[in-house]
Amino acid sequence: TSRVLAALLRSKYERLHCGPRAMELPEVLRTEFNYTCTYWKAKELAIASAQGTKEMSYKMLPQYLHVLKLANPGTITDIKTELDKEGKSRFLYAFMSLKACIDGWQHFRKVLVVDGTHMFGKYKGVLLSASGQDADCRYKGLDQKHMVARAAEAFKVSEFQKIYDLIKLTDWRCWDYLKKIDKTLWTRSHFEGTRFNLMTSNIAKSLNKALLPARDSPITALLEFIRRKLTRWFECRHYDISKMQGNIPKIIDEIVVEQLVLSTGLLVLPCSTWQFEVTHKPTKYDFVVDLEKRTCSCLEFQMLGLPCRHAIAA
């Protein structure tokens, strides 16, 4: 019966993830137990046995969040409910932010990526997440792809226009597609504010993929999956930081070292105590650097917040 099969399959759903998909269960039963049957009811009973029913999970949610705050002081949680037509309280949404996540915000770049992903299972809903990226870029082709990336990442409007015109000559359809999009939305050179070197929303997509296995789980199992996932990430980050020498993240250090290598051979002419004129010999282009204001006429210094090759040479 389905209950016997559920008992056999329970262990595959105990690690707070979806386990085998329903369509995969016949093969699992055939290879491991040499048995052939229908599968959907068995999967539902196996999940309920291992993680509890969806309905019971909602009832357990207040207790789970209370215990979570006791175990992680400083964690913020909240539950909102509404009254249905019969006057009964019904779940609307829940909020959770671990203390470690709250502390981490002060070290993130000042860009917040908010994204929603639809939930699976009996009760539909949306998992809304807010993601950021630290200085170490953690969170993760074709010529055409490279040209579009170069155009998007160009610091100067003139530099962007040169690459933009090249795209038009090599692939008119691509250029026509880009022309319909507001340049302030995808280019660094036309953006009025500061992008903090974040050009895409890939961190939101990466988070959604990481949470995909639990999107069919009961709500308390889903939140516990998220907590465990974040805990593992925190431990990995802590291990990396423990090996770091100084206060500069590894990736930032690599960028600065690369700029240091590129600064060799540049001619530097002092203009004042803080201002310098830097000449790139092969192109004979001149750049003005102001170390006090942390600016360079190449715009890279002020846009990235990291010294460009001209600033390092000065």
Statement to judge: residues 116 and 212 lie in one domain: yes
Among residues of the chain, what percentage have pLDDT more than 70?
Answer: 73
Same domain, 124 and 223: yes
Q: What is the pLDDT of residues 97-113, one digit of tens each?
A: 989 888 887 777 676 77
Number of domains in the chain: 4
113-134 confidence digits (pLDDT tens): 777 777 776 677 888 888 776 6
Whether residues 204 and 257 share a domain: the answer is no
pTM above 0.85, yes or no: no
In a domain, 14, yes or no: yes
Tell me the CA distances in angstroms from 189 to 20, 147, 197, 254, 289, one per residue in order.
47, 15, 12, 24, 19
294: left (phi over 0), alpha (psi -120 to 50) or beta: left
Q: What is the pLDDT of residue 142?
A: 44
- Are the C-beta atoms of residues 278 and 287 closer than 8 Å to each other? yes
More confident residue, 251 or 16: 251
Per the listing, tokens 């969806």 go with 54
Residue 194 falls within a domain, yes or no?
A: no
Q: Is residue 138 part of a domain?
A: no
Q: Cα 304–310–314 angle (5° rounding)? A: 120
Do both 129 and 212 map to the same domain?
Answer: yes
Q: In this predicted structure, what is the pLDDT of residue 204?
A: 61
Query: Quick one: 61 and 107 in the same domain?
Result: yes
More confident residue, 228 or 7: 228
**In a shared domain, residues 40 and 166:** no
Nearest to 136 by CA among 16, 299, 254: 254
* Average pLDDT along the chain: 77
Whole-number pLDDT of residue 89? 84
